[in-house]
Structure 1
Amino acid sequence: MEAVRRLDVAQPETYRQAPHNVEAEQALLGAVLVNNEAFDRVSDFLEPEHFYEPVHQDIYAVLAKIIRAGKTADPITAKTHLPDELTADIPMQHYLARLAAEATTVINAADYGQAIYDLAIRRSLITVGEQMVADAYDSPVEQSPARQIEDAEKSLFELAERGRYEGGFQAFNVALRDAVNLAGEAYRRDGSLSGTATGLIDLDRKMGGLQRSDLIILAGRPAMGKTSLATNIAFNIAKAWQGETQPDGHIKTVDGGRVAFFSLEMSSEQLATRILAEQAGISSSDIRRGNIHESQFGQLVTASNSIADAPLYIDDTGGISISQLVARARRLKRQKGIDLIVVDYLQLLSGSRRSSDNRVQELTEITTGLKALAKELDVPIIALSQLSRQVEAREDKHPQLADLRESGSIEQDADVVLFVYREEYYHQNRQPKPGTEDHLKWLAEAEEVHGKAEVIIAKQRHGPTGTVELAFEAELTRFSNLVQDSQLPERFE
Structure 2
Amino acid sequence: MDEKEEVAASDHIGDVCEGLMDTLESVAHGKGETLTGLGTGFEDLDYLTRGLEPGTLTVVASRPAMGRTTFLSDICRHNAIKNNIPTLVFTLEENRQSFTRRVVAAEARVPIHHMRAGTMTDEDWTRLGRRLPVVLESPLFIRDTARVDMRLIQLETATMMEKRDVRLVCIDGVQDIRPEKRSDLREREVGDVVRDLKTMARELDIPVVVTSHLNRSPEYRPDKIPRLDDLRESGAITFASDTLIMLHREDAYEKESPRAGEADLIVAKHRHGPAATVMVAHQGHYGRFVDMAQP
TM-score (norm 2): 0.92
Q: Equivalent of 1:411, from 238, 257, 264? A: 238
Q: How big is each residue's C-alpha offset from its partner over 1:125-151, in whole Å with a ceiling of 9 and x where there is no partner?
A: xxxxxxxxxxxxxxxxxxxxxxxxxxx
Q: Equivalent of 1:216, from 50, 58, 61? A: 58
**Identical residues among aligned pairs (%):** 29
For 2:14 and 2:193, locate their aligned partners in 1 and report how far apart those are by CA, in whole Å: 34
Give the AA of the match of 2:38: T
Match of 2:268 in 1: 458
For 2:72 and 2:78, locate their aligned partners in 1 and report how far apart those are by CA, in whole Å: 10
For 1:467 and 1:108, locate their aligned partners in 2 and report how far apart those are by CA, in whole Å: 51
1:469 aligns with 2:279: yes
Q: Which of the two has greater strand per residue?
A: 2
Match of 1:299 in 2: 127
For 1:201 and 1:175, locate their aligned partners in 2 and report how far apart those are by CA, in whole Å: 29
Once the two structures are TM-superposed, the CA of residue 185 in structure 1 deviates from its matched residue by 4.8
Match of 2:20 in 1: 179
1:255-404 map, 5 Å:
257-355=85-183, 357-404=184-231
For 2:175 and 2:101, locate their aligned partners in 1 and report how far apart those are by CA, in whole Å: 24
Give the AA of the match of 2:17: L
Query: What are the ranges of 5 or more consecutive residues in structure 2 without an aligned counterpart?
Result: none
Once the two structures are TM-superposed, the CA of residue 361 in structure 1 deviates from its matched residue by 1.7
Once the two structures are TM-superposed, the CA of residue 169 in structure 1 deviates from its matched residue by 7.3
For 1:239 and 1:454, locate their aligned partners in 2 and report how far apart those are by CA, in whole Å: 24
CA contact (8 A) 1:183 1:194 kept: no
Give the AA of the match of 1:461: R
Once the two structures are TM-superposed, the CA of residue 454 in structure 1 deviates from its matched residue by 0.2
Once the two structures are TM-superposed, the CA of residue 188 in structure 1 deviates from its matched residue by 6.5
Structure scoring higher RCO (CA < 8 A, sep ≥ 6) equals 2
SS in 2 for 1:212: coil
For 1:109 and 1:470, locate their aligned partners in 2 and report how far apart those are by CA, in whole Å: 52
For the aligned residue pairs, the C-alpha RMSD in angstroms reads: 2.4
Q: Which of the two has greater helix per residue?
A: 1
For 2:201 and 2:271, locate their aligned partners in 1 and report how far apart those are by CA, in whole Å: 15
Q: How big is each residue's C-alpha offset from its partner over 1:234-282, in whole Å with a ceiling of 9 and x where there is no partner?
A: 111112335xxxxxxxxxxxxxx32110101111111111111112211
Once the two structures are TM-superposed, the CA of residue 384 in structure 1 deviates from its matched residue by 0.4
Give the AA of the match of 2:74: N
CA contact (8 A) 2:77 2:107 kept: no
Query: What are the ranges of 5 or more consecutive residues in structure 1 without an aligned counterpart?
Result: 1-106, 111-165, 243-256, 429-442, 485-493
Q: How big is each residue's C-alpha offset from its partner over 1:74-122, in whole Å with a ceiling of 9 and x where there is no partner?
A: xxxxxxxxxxxxxxxxxxxxxxxxxxxxxxxxx8787xxxxxxxxxxxx
SS in 2 for 1:398: coil
1:45-444 map, 5 Å:
170-186=11-27, 191-241=33-83, 257-355=85-183, 357-428=184-255, 443=256
TM-score (norm 1): 0.56
CA contact (8 A) 1:228 1:478 kept: yes
Runs of 4+ in 1 over 4 A off after TM superposition: 107-110, 166-169, 184-190
Q: How many residue pairs align between the two structures?
A: 293
SS in 2 for 1:300: helix
- Gap change, CA 1:172 and 1:273, over 3 Å in 2: same
